[in-house]
A and B are shown apart, each in its own frame.
Chain A
Amino acid sequence: MNKILLESLSYKREVNDKYIFENLNLELKKEKGIILVLGPSGVGKSTFLHLLNGLLKADKGHIEINGIDLTNLDSFDSKKFWSETCNLMYQNFPLINWLNCKENLDLITGKKNIDEMLEKLNVKDIYNKYPNDISFGQRQRIALVQCFLMKPKIKLLDEPTSALGHDDKLKVIKLIKDITEEFNDLFIIATHDRDLIQFADEVYKIENKKLVLKNNIN
């Protein structure tokens, strides 16, 4: 069971000294599934993921994920946390340009057979191409496969479908759904795309510097 605990969390931007989150409390206990964090651009969706990933440090309060205290700077080991507990696929879908798609994935899988997943995501034909030779959408799909294959059970995705067309978007979210079932992964997805809501197990919206659970958003 994955457990995410946020207590009295406050975080303000250094640039304008304004709070994005203030006194935010949240307790999430979930083994698997898709959790959406909705909100318009600039409201703090990415910041929320960066806080959960330990990249940003809270100004006040406490963040704990699966027993790991992210706010305790002395004990927090980001390397171990990112490689074993929680990992973020960041917005610009990073791939290593001088490795082809297969080699990029091999770094994660150690050359495991992932044909089925490639088939589902419609990326098998670009497997041997270099990231610079494929479209942005294709890059995004490869980056997603990379993210799916990683060890951490909690996966944070920042706008994972932003570069995809409608059909590809549905394919990706359906695959995420399948993966949650098959591998017991928990996806926390920051997005402004309301098409994804129907596939989510829980939907949160950022409102008034808090995270508000919206069960009947449709």
Chain B
Amino acid sequence: MQLPSVLLSLFRNRKHLYFLIGLIVLVTVSIILVSVLTIYISQSELRAWETPLSYFSIIEPNLNFVDNDYKNKLVEDSKIKKVIEFKDSIISVPGILNTEYRPVLALENKDFEVFMNELNLKLISGEIPQSDTRDIIISENIAKKKGLKLSDYVGNAIDDEEFLWGRFRISGIFEGELDIALASLKYFERRLGRESSLLVLPENNLSSMNNSLFNLKNNNYNIETKETLIKNNNKKNKDLLDLIYILIAILTVSLTIIVGLYISLYLKTRLREFALYYSRGISRFNIVKFVLKELLLITLISQLLGVLVSYSILFILKEMIFSDLIFLAQISMFDILLILPLFISIILVSFILAFKNLKIKKLENIIMGG
């Protein structure tokens, strides 16, 4: 006698498996979405600065001024194209939970042209901010998402929920890859004080410039690159990640217990069938293997389905429910890997239960009419 096909068995017994599949799908979706959304919400700073820091790096003085010797060294470095003094703030953009913002960089008027050229930003309407005025230029995307147009005003003086201080007049809108706003350094200095940070643009390659910056490192300055931004962000989010791990561990253990109970029940309902195989000369090992293949396939199919459902839910959230907001959450490999413990524990439990339920004595008792 030969064993039937595992796929046929799954297909024909599907009515008994809907609950199990549904349960695994539900928990898989919960794990993925909890992870995606929590990490997304905690990474608003990263989203604001990651793309700009792909073009330049920042040097922030710990003291209240930039000493000229250090600045000269930077200017003379062949890896650095341009050193620009700047101050920064943030401007809110519509996002979920009102945590989304983008950088506002205040530059000297002479630096606008080179900065915009280097970052491929092109003014499509209006003009660059006049020196020492409340003019601000914003990216096309920010204008669209915030519903702003030329000559509109922005700032927390007119909108309590706005992160940008004061009141600024939109003097221009530009297009480009970066979501930022640019304003006049002089005006910022007048309102916030004279101390500025340095923005350094690379001659050719950003990473070789960053290496050079770290070689010139002076304890009076902090260097902020894309890498340090990501590193600091991960450090800041460590507690949050620990919380996610705990939550996922609780979900995984709870589901494994329920799945274990259900698998036990499922195997009991098919015990007569397994006894039949055994009585026809199929070894217990091969029957257990058959059962494990079935359970492995169910788990795999359910988790794949869970991943697909997660993608669909996220798509619906992004494209339909929050389509007016900036909502860039994406399922990463990290989120998918978080469902691996669930897979391993279900397989482990299946393994234990298959051996426990398919004991030779039990099978023989059924054959003998027990």
The chain A residues found within 8 Å of chain B, CB to CB, are 46, 50, 55-56, 78-84, 87-88, 90-92, 94-99, 103, 107-108, 110, 150
Contact = CB atoms under 8 A, between A and B. Distances in A.
B272 interface: yes
Interface size band for B: 20 to 34
Closest 8 CB pairs of A and B: A83-B281, A98-B12, A82-B281, A94-B276, A79-B283, A79-B281, A96-B273, A55-B364
Contacts of B272: 94
Contacts of A98: 9, 12-13
A103 B280 contact: no
B147 interface: no
A103 B4 contact: yes
Given A79-B282, A91-B369, A103-B4, 9 more contacts: A55-B367, A90-B279, A94-B273, A94-B275, A94-B279, A96-B273, A99-B8, A107-B2, A107-B4
A94 B364 CA distance: 14
Contacts of A95: 276
Given A98-B12, A107-B2, A55 B368 contact: yes
A150 B276 CA distance: 13
A87 B281 CA distance: 9
Contacts, number: 58
B279 A99 contact: no
B233 to A, nearest CB: 53
B369 A96 contact: no
Interface of B: 1-4, 8-9, 12-13, 272-273, 275-276, 279-283, 364, 367-369
B171 to A, nearest CB: 74
Contact of A82 (B2, B13, B280, B369): B280
Nearest to B11: A98
Contacts of B367: 55, 88, 90
A95 B275 CA distance: 11
Contacts of B369: 46, 90-92
B2 A96 contact: no
A87 B280 contact: yes
A50 B1 CA distance: 20
A88 B279 contact: yes
A11 B353 CA distance: 33
Nearest to B14: A98
A150 B281 CA distance: 11
Contacts of B282: 79, 83
B368 A56 contact: yes
A150 B280 contact: yes
Contacts of B281: 78-84, 87
Contacts of B283: 79
A50 B276 contact: no
Contacts of B3: 107
Given A88-B367, A90-B368, A97-B273, A83 B279 contact: no
Contacts of A110: 2
8 contacts: A79-B281, A84-B281, A88-B279, A88-B367, A90-B279, A91-B369, A107-B4, A150-B1
Contacts of B12: 98-99
A34 to B, nearest CB: 21
A131 B3 CA distance: 18
A129 B281 CA distance: 26
A53 to B, nearest CB: 8
Given A79-B282, A82-B280, A150-B280, A99 B4 contact: yes
A145 B280 CA distance: 14
